[in-house]
Structures are given as structure tokens and as C-alpha cells.
Structure 1
Amino acid sequence: MIETITKPRIQSIDLLKGLVMVIMALDHVRDYFHYSAFFFDATDPEQTTWPIYFTRFITHFCAPAFSFLAGTSAFMIGKRKSPAELSSFLFKRGLWLVFVEIIIINFAWKFDIHFSHIGLQTIWSLGISMIVLAGLIHLPKKAVLAFSLVIIFGHNLLDNIHFDGSYVWAMLHERQKFEFAEDHTVVFAYSLLPWIAVMSLGYCFGSLYDSSFDAQKRKRLLNSLGLGSLALFFILIAFNTYGDPVQWTNYSDTSKTLMSIFNVSKYPPSLFYLLVTLGCSLLFLANAEKLKGKVVNFFCVFGRVPFFYYILHLYLIHLLAVFAAYFTGFGWQAMVLPTFITRVEALKGYGFNLITVYLVWIVVILLLYPLCKKFDNYKQSHKEKWWLSYL
């Protein structure tokens, strides 16, 4: 996660980051508190309801927006550094994020000191993407843009290629689980190839936020690209042949059909998934630059300290779930997890309704806000401290 440049004219970037970080917490609260999460996929048209479906679907926007904006922020940091300095920063920051994912984040998810199950997810993909971007920045901008677009539009051609047992292929394009020691597994949840392209695409868009770039031209361009992405999504949906490894189903029920159409694949992120999420993100960026007020400032706080917030929110949500399990008769030990929480058979029957999930989510955000605000103020007043750029 990249340090943010806090000029008023790009507050929309902090705002979008903050919004997606807050929305992301909703999905994680749902994992730890929703009764139905242990029984069916929230986006399965044959089992879900619209409130449950929407609660999951809205969080699809988080990872693509943040990965894209991490690339944009990298470009802006590069305005103050030489290419060699930026490359060094991205490489070291990437290694740090990989370490954090494996140790700090995985413990937050499971509270398991034995690390029986290691999931390589968002922070891992951001870290590796930064390491790759550290090399890509030395190429011409057009080459980086071409690289990004070819992967985003073409990686679904690889969907039918399988190499069972291949760590490399799992890292690049196919979600797989491996046993690397007795009773110890690792899951490559965020396959890297498309995520690397999303970050490098965001890097290319960073030039739109150069001080010399006309704001109205930026708005028109972002609106055009956002609308174009959504239009292309619906065109490809009509053909239903390429863009997602799972074709949508035409049910006799229109409601279920709509759910199927928008049930885009995240692991790895398909072309459909990226067209919808990045298209909407571009539209937001195009039209949010002049937004001001207390609500905007509230979300911008989270957007300026996203890494700090990310770590805290996982520990807080899991800690609250420990108390919830204890007071509902499951015992606090049930929240020391051998695998991802919704796959723990012993927890079937635990959980609450969706209203409770939303209430817990609001409590989490309100508890974290003052801590994030204080840390944000500290970062802004101590920019000379190099280590803050890693938090």
C-alpha cells in the first residue's frame, strides 16, 4: 500500500480509497458474524437473497480499486524520486507487504500460532505487484500500458489451462491449495497475473493527475473510459462466450438471471469482474474531485492510512468474533481457526442475521476512526520519518 499525496485536487483518490476500505470491512464482518456464510456462497443465485447478494457484491469493488490506486500513487511518488529511487522503494515495500501477509495478516485471520493454514490474499498480491512494478517503471509508458491491457483483456484465454500441483501456475493464474508440511497448507487465493496488470494500469493513469493535466480533460477522459468499460461488459455479456470462466445462466426467474450475470469471478479476477469494478471506479474518480464536507473528510481519513486501518480492522473483527463465539456457547477456542472461518465445520450454526452484521460493521468503523485519525495526523506532521511510508 502506497503513501498518499495529500493535495486538495486529488482528494478524490483518498476518498475512493477510504470508501473501499470501509466497504471491505463489511465483507470481513460478514465472514465472522453471518450465520448463512457457513452454509452457502453469498452470490449463488440458487440459494442467496438480494440483501445477502448485494452485501457481498458491493465488496468486489475494493481490491481492484485499491490495487489500481496503489499504482496511481506510485506514479505520483515517482514525481519526487528518481526512477532508481522509486524502483528501490517499490521493491522494498513489496517485500515488506509479502512478509506482513504471511505473518501479521494470517495470524489476524486465524489466531493460530501454528500457522496451519496460510492464505496469500490481498496484501500478498499488492506486494508482488509492487515488486514487478519496480521493474516495469523503467519501460516506456506505452509499453507498460500495452502490457497491462494485454493481460487484463487476454488472461481469460488461460482459463482452460491447468497444471495441477504447480506452485508457479497457482501463483500466476489458478487458485489452488497445497500442503507444504504435515497439517500445514498454503492457498494462493489471489493469483498474481491480472492483479499485477491492474496495478501497472493504475500507474499509467497517474499521469492524469500531473499538475499540468487539465482537470476538465481528466474528467471527460475518466468518464469516457468508465462508461466504455461498462458498455463493453454488457456487450460481452450478451455474447456470453468470453470474459469469465463461468458463463452466466438464463434462469426462468429474472431475479436469479441478474444475479448470475453479475456473479463475476474474482479468483482470479476475470475480464468481466475488472470491467465492472474498474469502470465504476473510473466514473467515481471522474465525478468526485469537487466533493467536500464532513462525510468526505471522514472517509478520506481511512484512505490516507489504509495499511494501518487494514491490519487493525482484521484484529478487531476477529477479537469481537471471539467474544461472540464465547457468549453464544461455542467457546472462544472455536475462533482459533485451522482454516478460513467459513470452512470450519465446527462453526456451522454459529452466527447472526444480516442486520446484526451491519450493526457490527458500523461499530468496527466507529471504533477505528479515532485511531486512524490520530495516526493520520501523526503521519502528516512527521513526514520526515521514512518508516511511516511503510505503514
Structure 2
Amino acid sequence: MAPASDRPARARVESVDVVRGVIMILMALDHTRDFFGGASINPTDLATTTAPLFMTRWITHFCAPVFCLLTGTGAYLARGRRTTPQLSRFLLTRGLWLVLLELTIARFLWQFNADYQVTIITVLWALGWSMVALALLVHFPTWVAGTVGCAMILLHNLADPVQAASFGSLAPLWNVLHSPGVLYAAPGRIVILAYPLIPWIGVMAAGYSLGAIFRLDAERRRTLLLRMGVALTASFIVLRLINIYGDPVPWSAQRTAGFTVLSFLNLTKYPPSLLFLLMTLGPALLLLRAMDGRTPPLLRPAFIIGKVPMFYYLAHILLLHVIALFFSYARYGTIRYMFESARPDQFPVTQPPGWANPLPVVYLLWITVVVLLYPLCRWYAARKASSGHPLLSYL
């Protein structure tokens, strides 16, 4: 038998699809809250939020980092069926496709208009350019991607004091790289970038190097996943307790012990701080370990969804917006609100007076959306597997 290091990686790993499906399901909760919750209340503002609202937002913090990490892992696993030039070309073209999707189809699904009065650039942009960067890194040994990724994750908070305005006319470039903010503003037009590329490129590069673990035998793989998951989670706790480096906003004692815990967990996502990534990626590795070799029956739907994440992503935005149309007509007798370009603080839709729904309604709608989408995802997964058409790999 060939040694583990010489065996080709498997094309798909079930545990990766399961974990990816779990975080896609959680993502729909966050977006359901975006559409149907109250835009006037920031769920992470400890002065105005409630514990249930905070935790509803907090649990969805796992989505973007874990998806980005596993996208890199999936790229490594694809080496089992693609040469390096083929993989690089695929990453380049799919990355550019995701950037195009962000600026066209995804934007339309969020807002149901093409007036481009308000454009908020989000996760597909970061994923797309991260894949473009990974298209270059795959030409080097795997440890190079891992080193670049880990360095970017560990060190990028050193740049937090640097303000985009200090670059003058080049300020938008710093927004793109590290500091979210307004890229363009003119009467009737605004473009806001929420997902700068650093450290998302690093997260995907680290995920690519993580894929090498899935070439090991089961015992070594599970041991490494467990040790890394515990190490990252413990590092988060220790560094957060020290309260010096890793997040631009330190935690502090609050009016109650419960809210002090929330302050401890309240980390910066835009861009994701070192502590934010340790907090989310550590448990994700532990979940990968738990799912290695066994998928509980309850999580079989997550496995299906995890095989078609882009299809699910676009479909769930469309479905949420369509449901919002019905809500608007039933309550206000009009659907015009759902087609207007919302103010940035109300994104994705203009919320008429009294629009905000209580959390139980948000959760009910979230479950409804996931249940409705599951048969479509199952159909598309089967179609994708049976067809083998290369274009289907882009959705």
C-alpha cells in the first residue's frame, strides 16, 4: 500500500459537506433576521440588544469563516481529480464568476431592482477574490499556502490603526484590502464594501492546507482535528482574557454577569479579527472531528445542502425576498417597499413602519425556508452528480 502522503486526496469528504451544510442552514437564520427583524436594533450593541437577539446573531458568525475555510479545503481535495494547472484555472474562473455574481444576480436577489442606488458588497466578493489568490498559491507546495494563510490571520490586526483616509486618493484600495467602508458615494449612488479581502484570503489559504489532513489515515486525521480544534478554541479564550491583542474592541464588565459574557463573545467581523476567527474556526474543526466517519441521521439534510452551497445561497435569498413580498402585501396592501433601494442601515429592504417581527416569527420563517429548500437542493444535487457537466460546478 502506498504511504498516506503519496495517495491522492479523495474528491469529496462527507464530513466537510456536512459541516458546510450546517453553516449554510445557520446562514439562512441570519438573513431571515435581516429581512424580517428590526433594522433599528443592532443585535451586537450591548446597550440596546437582548441576550436572545445577540445569540441569534452570534451563532451565525460561524458561517462566513467556516465556509471560506472549507472552500479552501475543497480546493485541495479537488487535486484528486484535477491537475495543478486545471485546478488553478478553475479557481481563477470560478473566483471571477463569484465576483460577477455578487455585483449582478446576488445584488438583484437582495434588492429586486437594478438601479444601483445602494450597492453593498458582501461575502461572494471576498470568496471570489480569495479563490483568485488561491489560484496562484496552488502552484506552490501546500505549506506555502498554509504559512501565508496563518500569517495573514495572526498578523492582520497589527494594521487596525491604519485608516483608509490616510491614503488620500488611494483610500478605496485600503478599503478593499482591510478596512470596510464606502468605496464610492455620489448623489443617488453609494457603494459600500463590507468584506475586505484581508484576512479572508488567509482563511481560504489555511483551509487549502487543512485539506492535506484528509489524506492521512482516519486515526491520525481525527487526532489532528481534535488537537487543532482544542488549540484554536483555547487560544481564543486565553487571548481574549488577556484583552490586549486580537480584536480592536476589548471586552469589559457589563451591568450583569450574562452581559459580561456577551461582551467577551462580542468580536469584530468586518474584517474578521484574529479572535473572531479563533472563536469560529476552532469549534468548526471540532465539529469536523465529530462528523468524521459518521453523519447522524438528523444531519443528512445538511449533507445534501452542503453539496450544493451556491445553489442554496442564491435560492434562499430569492425565497426570503418573495416571502417578504407576501408579508408586505398582507400587512400594508403594497409591495413597493420590497423593490426600493433601502438605506444602508435598513439593507436589504426598506422597512415600513411596524415591520419588525419578533424573534419567534423569525425562527419560524427560517425553519420554513430551510424545509422548502431542502427538496430543491436534493434534486439539484442529484442532477449535478448525474450530469457531470462542467458548468454545473460553478453553481
TM over 0.5: yes
Contact persistence 2:10–2:80 (CA under 8 A): no
Contact persistence 2:340–2:350 (CA under 8 A): no
Contact persistence 2:74–2:208 (CA under 8 A): yes
**How far apart in 2 are the matches of 1:154 and 1:51?**
33
Pick one of 165, 173, 176 that aligns with 1:168.
173
**How far apart in 1 are the matches of 2:351 and 2:304?**
38
Aligned to 2:262: 259
Aligned to 1:289: 292
Contact persistence 1:226–1:281 (CA under 8 A): yes
Pick one of 351, 372, 375 that aligns with 1:370.
375
Count of aligned positions: 381
Aligned to 2:202: 197
Residue 74 (structure 2) pairs with residue 73 (structure 1): yes
Residue 17 (structure 2) pairs with residue 17 (structure 1): no
Q: Aligned letter for 1:353?
A: P
Map 1:176-187 → 2, pairs under 5 A: 176-179=181-184, 181-187=186-192
Structure 1 residue 290: Cα displacement: 2.9
Residue 346 (structure 2) pairs with residue 313 (structure 1): no
Q: Would the alpha carbon gap of residues 5 and 168 (structure 1) be closer, same or farther in structure 2, given more than 3 Å must change?
A: farther
**How far apart in 2 are the matches of 1:225 and 1:337?**
46
Contact persistence 1:110–1:335 (CA under 8 A): yes
Pick one of 371, 376, 393 that aligns with 1:389.
393
Pick one of 324, 332, 336 that aligns with 1:329.
332
Structure 1 residue 182: Cα displacement: 3.8
Q: TM-score if structure 1 supplies the norm length?
A: 0.94
Which ranges of structure 2 fall in alignment gaps of 5 or more residues? 1-8
Aligned to 1:144: 145
Please give the per-residue CA displacement for 1:30-50, whole angstroms capped at 9, x wherever unaligned: 11112xx32221122222122
Pick one of 226, 230, 234 that aligns with 1:227.
230
**How far apart in 2 are the matches of 1:249 and 1:82?**
51
Structure 1 residue 349: Cα displacement: 2.4
Contact persistence 1:32–1:341 (CA under 8 A): no
**How far apart in 2 are the matches of 1:107 and 1:345?**
14
Structure 1 residue 303: Cα displacement: 0.3
Aligned to 1:32: 35
Q: Aligned letter for 1:200?
A: A
Structure 1 residue 113: Cα displacement: 2.0
Q: Would the alpha carbon gap of residues 366 and 199 (structure 1) be closer, same or farther in structure 2, given more than 3 Å must change?
A: same
Structure 1 residue 134: Cα displacement: 0.3
Contact persistence 1:322–1:335 (CA under 8 A): yes
Aligned alpha-carbon RMSD (Å) = 1.7
Please give the per-residue CA displacement for 1:324-349, whole angstroms capped at 9, x wherever unaligned: 12212273111123234725775352
Contact persistence 2:338–2:350 (CA under 8 A): no
Q: Aligned letter for 1:171?
A: V
Q: Secondary structure at the match of 1:349?
A: coil
Q: Aligned letter for 2:196?
A: S
Map 1:45-84 → 2, pairs under 5 A: 45-84=46-85
Structure 1 residue 202: Cα displacement: 0.3
Contact persistence 1:38–1:348 (CA under 8 A): no
Which ranges of structure 1 fall in alignment gaps of 5 or more residues? none
Structure 1 residue 140: Cα displacement: 2.3
Pick one of 249, 252, 261 that aligns with 2:252.
249
Pick one of 209, 212, 230 that aligns with 1:207.
212
Identity level (%): 38
Q: TM-score if structure 2 supplies the norm length?
A: 0.93
Runs of 4+ in 1 over 4 A off after TM superposition: 4-7, 343-346
Pick one of 354, 365, 371 that aligns with 1:360.
365
**How far apart in 1 are the matches of 2:206 and 2:56?**
28
Structure 1 residue 245: Cα displacement: 1.0
Q: Would the alpha carbon gap of residues 346 and 141 (structure 1) be closer, same or farther in structure 2, given more than 3 Å must change?
A: closer
**How far apart in 1 are the matches of 2:234 and 2:296?**
32
